[in-house]
Amino acid sequence: MTATDPRVLGIGADVRRPDSVTDELLQRLVSRVRGSGSTWELTEVYTGETLVELPQSTPADIEAAFAEARAAQELWARWPVAKRVEVFKRAHTLLVDNALKVADLIQVESGKNRRMAIEETCDPPMVMSYYIRRAEKLLKPKKHAGPVPVVSGATEVRVPKGVVGIIAPWNFPFATGLSDAIPALIAGNAVVVKPDNKTALSPLFGISLLEEAGLPKGLFQVVCGEGPDVGPTLIDNADYVMFTGSTATGRVIGERAGRNLIGACLELGGKNPMIVLDDVPVEEWVESASFGVFGNTGQICMHIERIYLPESRYDELKAAFVERAANLKIGAAYDFGPEIGSLVSPDHCERVAAHVEDAVAKGATVLTGGRARPDIGPAFFEPTVLEGVTTDMVCGVTETFGPVVALHRYRTVDEAIKLANDTEYGLNASVWSGDIARAEAVAARIESGNVNINDALATAYASKGSPSGGVKQSGVGARHGDQGLLKYTDAKNVAVLKKQVMGARPGQDYGAYVDQMLKSLKLMRKLGR
């Protein structure tokens, strides 16, 4: 690609930040951060220009944020579930009505293309819709049988954990900053969120919309800072931790949460495979696969980094995929033209480039792409397809998290499954076939928390009624589904004995009591109790 290539958009164009992102708005948003320490220079990714100084939080700031959140939570937890849900019904409308403004903020801070930014704005409303429907049923006390029929019983009561600490990543700042908090709040908790410094604006704006919808002030707090500076104090004050990020950081967070005897949900890294069977319809596959690899410039936890193609159709499928990748429109623009936007920062661009350079140095072939594009913006990198990647290359085993994919050929389906499972990760996988039953049989053998059939990643993640999480080194716990709300609660067991029938009656021979008890156990089993 060159500066005159029609596939390149934004070169020489006006990429000023959108009119909606005013200095007044930026100052108003960062003023919501509980921070009295130094400041961090938040920049516009497309241009590298400074947007605003982001306050950084000291340990004392974090403790104060938790104290205020805890006081607000005591009152919030007393609200009937239906009353809490009403806040999120109003918030749903506000989020949808402000989607374009949210997309402006997401683009400014992350550099993603507008198509992806708009899709991101849809995630919190989708999560709200699910829990608005399900919350009252999930949180309603449940009656259970007691040990002695008729005269005893137990009630399962769901109570909020207290204050949930959320550590949100930069790749989907608005979605993860809000969507993980929504079920925690509906369940009666308060939240303290730490967004990434690079992408704090959109979650801050989202929280302001929640408060406009009626969420009590102080209930949803924001602290900012680098992970090692902020993380320990946040975890030490939290009653539960939700983290999305790398496996290495997840281990550190999990260990600290374990020492504090609090729960943690961790969605971690992936090296996600796609298996393409020999009966795949090529046109449908190419379009979905290109999004699964290059969507959000490859910065999706569930994006595909390994594609396994059948030897019998390898050349045909490779040619079709490489052609699509080579013709993706890349550019810096606040309109819907570009299909590929920027990486989040120059540092991350250098990391992606280093993975490609290492692969090439060790014998891999670049079929298309493979270069940084500073002529477009400080952190742009071309959609890249590699061939001949092996496990002695960094990108052969480590998550690249960029617009880079490796193509591999296989001879038998058993071989493809073995190769797909040959990783320490297990977050997402994809299987493509013209025969759904055949694809389902393959999916059943893949070691992954999510498997998409005839899609790359979106169907699994957008199915909000089904839990989504990783296995192996890709995480612990899940978001979405009933589990995504219940994890933010404790189950209190309230048991009632209406008559004192437990134990031997006064004067009764204990041996006779034991005989009666054992007979009762057999009878209860026959009665299905």
Give the number of other Cβ atoms within 10 Å of residue 261's Cβ.
Answer: 6
User: So what's the pLDDT on residue 503?
Assistant: 87
Token readout for 286 is: 């190419």
Average pLDDT over residues 168-193: 98
Rounded (10°) angle between helices 99-110 and 81-97? 70
Asked whether residue 310 carries a pLDDT value surpassing 80, the answer given is yes
Average pLDDT over residues 281-305: 97
Q: What is the DSSP letter of 80?
A: -
Asked whether residue 7 carries a pLDDT value surpassing 90, the answer given is no
DSSP string covering 98-148, please?
THHHHHHHHHHHH---HHHHHHHHTHHHHHHHHHHHHHHHHHS-EEEE-SS
Set 44, 68, 119, 267: catalytic member:
267
Asked whether residue 32 carries a pLDDT value surpassing 80, the answer given is yes
Q: What is the DSSP letter of 311?
A: G
Set 68, 120, 224, 301: catalytic member:
301
| Annotated catalytic residue 301 | yes
Q: For all residues of the chain together, what is the average pLDDT?
A: 96
How would you classify the pairing of strands 220-222 and 190-194?
Answer: parallel
The answer to whether 70 and 163 are in contact (CB under 8 A) is yes
Beta bridge partners of 154: 144, 495
| Annotated catalytic residue 255 | no
For the segment 46-102, what is each residue's pLDDT rounded down to a tens digit? 999 999 999 999 999 999 999 999 999 999 999 999 999 999 999 999 999 999 999
Give the number of other Cβ atoms within 10 Å of residue 231's Cβ.
Answer: 21
The answer to whether 208 and 222 are in contact (CB under 8 A) is no
Query: Among residues 382, 387, 281, 399, which one has the least CA distance to residue 339?
Result: 382
Exposed e or buried b per residue across 484-505, where buried means at least 16 C-beta atoms within 10 angstroms of its C-beta: bbebbbeeeeeeeeeeeeeeee
Among 146-150, 374-378, 379-383, 404-408, the least confident range: 146-150
Sheet hosting strand 384-387, strand order edge to edge: 365-368, 384-387, 404-410, 304-310, 272-276, 428-432, 450-453
Whole-model pTM: value is 0.95
